[in-house]
Amino acid sequence: MIRRATSSRATSSRATTSKATHAAARKAARRATRRAGALSVLLAASLALLPSTAAHADGIRAQQWALDAMHTQQAWRTTKGQGITVAVLDTGVDDQHPDLVGNVLAGKDMVGFGAQRGDRAWARHGTAMAGIIAGHGHGVGNGDGVLGIAPEAKILPVRVILEDGDSARTRARNTRGNALAEGIRWATDQGADVINLSLGDDSKSAHPEPAEDAAVQYALKKGAVVVASAGNGGEKGDHISYPAAYPGVIAATAVDQNGTRASFSTRRWYATVSAPGVDVVIADPDDKYYEGWGTSAASAFVSGAVALIKAAHPGLSPAQIKKLLEDTARNAPSGGRDDSRGFGFIDPAAAIEAAGRLKPDSTHAAAYGKKYFGTGPDAAPDDSQPSGWVGPAAGGAGVVLLAASVILWRGRRFSAQDASGDMPL
């Protein structure tokens, strides 16, 4: 499920970050970071990007409504994710971006060809996801740029898919169908604590791949928490999306600033929790900031939250963490859960507090049961009710500023399926 970019312009009055200022920051970042060889690590994710040609870098932080909505300040009183590694299986991560320098480890390229650093079709989606998870900002006191949910966590990039627009993408689909399964196993063996999969296939022909499922179960058994996008098929039939539907995966659905399910967010039985997925400010290798939407962003936010929980309570198993997220989610749907928002909006601060009352559990892979054969999506009216939780927290000013300072770049879904069925959401 990919959102292919198509630009649709909106009014803009200010320059996105002064080119000179950002160039200086980037130059300093390159000096500060030591290149661990040629970047052979990249991740794939799925998000619709909205190019921002306005919004000063120092105004970006105020536009990150998700930070307040997710109660990050409360969670950060305990931890900011230090000591945790989040593997981002995506299109690549720019380790020299000022908001990420020092937080990106040496990774692996499971594709082996395609765009390289400096090409426009390189590492855009993966860099965006990494920033949501572990961006630390830049400038004086790191007050500029994007701040992630777990700014002290490390990113392990694993390239398993190519960007839309990469001329080698079709070749990758046809020849690297096993990249995702291999990437999950490799990241697990490197000691990843969390594996973020902001990608998936929600086409009509989507189906579980034994090798991918086995890799997910391998990761879970080794203690790695696996998080995936629920899918962007909410307006196209709510088809089941993989890897989100594999047993044991924490599937993230998307909501807006009002807590309302995003119309594109897939509704299925595997939905675990909801997270921000609309009007999300993201970093890009081109030295600009963008506004994005998609369940890929929601997955990254959940992965950042899991990193905080793992940092505070390292002995918890993936099953325990998944249950924690379900039990501590805010604004639960009527009845406690639905296919639109899972158990409610993720609350890492509440989960960290509740985790203090748990004892570490032995890890084990999820059992199959009947999880591949759940019921259809909930009725549409159930997800149209706003939760009413963000207005006071995030404030409307940031949203207005963002809307006035970006060039919207919405995308259309990529209907084809690659060899493995994996595509950015």
Active site residues: 90, 125, 296
> What residues pair up with 274 in beta bridges, in sequence order?
253, 345
User: What is the C-alpha separation between 152 and 143, in angstroms, rounded?
Assistant: 15
The single residue listed with the structure tokens 């098929």 is: 233
Q: Half-sphere exposure of 84 toward its Cβ, with a 13 Å CA cutoff?
A: 33
Place of tokens 């058994």: 221
Look at the block and give the residue holding tokens 């259809």.
376
- Give the three-state DSSP class for 26: helix
196: DSSP letter: E
Q: Is the peptide bond before 318 cis (omega within 30 degrees of 0)?
A: no
For 304-370, give the DSSP string: HHHHHHHHH-TT--HHHHHHHHHHH-BSPPTTS-BTTTBTSB--HHHHHHHHTT-------PPP-TT
Q: Given CA atoms 181, 185, 191, 194 in this order, what sign does their dihedral have?
A: positive
Three-state secondary structure call for residue 65: helix
Closest among 238, 158, 233, 237 to 195, alpha carbons compared: 158
Label residues 223-258 b or e (16+ Cβ within 10 Å = b).
bbbbbbbbbbbbebebbbbbbbbbbbbbbbbbbbbe
Sheet hosting strand 271-276, strand order edge to edge: 108-109, 154-159, 85-90, 194-197, 225-229, 250-255, 271-276
What number of residues does the chain have? Answer: 425
Whose CA is closest to 409, among 165, 50, 25? 50
- CA end-to-end span of the chain: 5
SS3 280: strand
